[in-house]
Structure 1
Amino acid sequence: MTAITAASRLTRLRNLAVTGLVTTGAAAAALTLTPATAHAAETPKAAPAIASKAADPAGAKGAANNLDGWIKQSLTIMKAKGIPGTYEGLHRNIMRESSGNPNAQNNYDVNAKNGTPSKGLLQVIDPTFKAFHVAGTANSSTDPVANITAAANYAAHRYGSIDNVNSAY
């Protein structure tokens, strides 16, 4: 009877060990797959909903004044201007770059040290914003729609589409 009890305990212990490894492995994979945003952008204040000052050339009026609405407004402008990109590609990059905070500003990287910090939802520096600004959007790198659209325009020229960007760009 003692041998059965010992064997039973050993089996139970093995099952617990395997369960623990699976759980730990899943947690490690989740941490590995989670975008690192801790150093990507400084967020000095909570992100208030900011009204986009972008023009509405293609009928995106009525879009919500939040991340979803800004992405949809940008996609409307991008489509009208022939700039490739999808909602998923924009959203994925925004979440990695700023966690959806339109006021995010990186004050730590080489750009910031050179006096041109990355700003906004897609962390665009002012020279890049000026070079890839899209007519019909606000002339401000911190305007959510203008920031998204200029960054997507830059990514289209450099990588073919914002959808092809999977890391800092």
Structure 2
Amino acid sequence: MKISNINTNISKKISAVTLFAIMTFTLAGLLEITLLSESPAVAQERERERSDPITGCFKEVGETQVAPNGIQNWTESIQNFDSLIPTSDTLTLINNIVVGDSGPVNDMTGIWYVLINGNSTAHDRQMVLDEVNSLLAASKPGFTKIQQDSLSRCITNETNSLGPTPNY
């Protein structure tokens, strides 16, 4: 009777170890497939696209440069800035040339996509930044000069952190 229990216990231990080994190799295989499926550059570009630091710039400046009684103007200025983006012929032209998309840029994420696109050159990026600055100034009721400067500086810093593209 004791030999039977020992065989059963050994059999259970072998099964558990085998199952653990299979699960470990399966997990390692899935991890390897995931890691090898995207190059680091592609993964970094996807993360940057998802995070859209331009929107982050508006949040950061809003938290530091807007007094509680100025929230309504700040919100209206952002909405007006957003509404100006799809009407910008410059952004539409750059989007058509750089991205190859035949439509207008519709929002801040679209601006970021143009900036990170691999076809974007230093000149293209500067044209986008110049147009963003123009739209910031045209937004009404309007950002204060300090807010405009802070937003411009933040967006420029984010753009400069990208580094060169293949066409840079």
Tell whether the structures are fold-level matches, with TM greater than 0.5: no
| Max Rg structure | 2
Shorter-chain TM-score category? 0.3 to 0.5
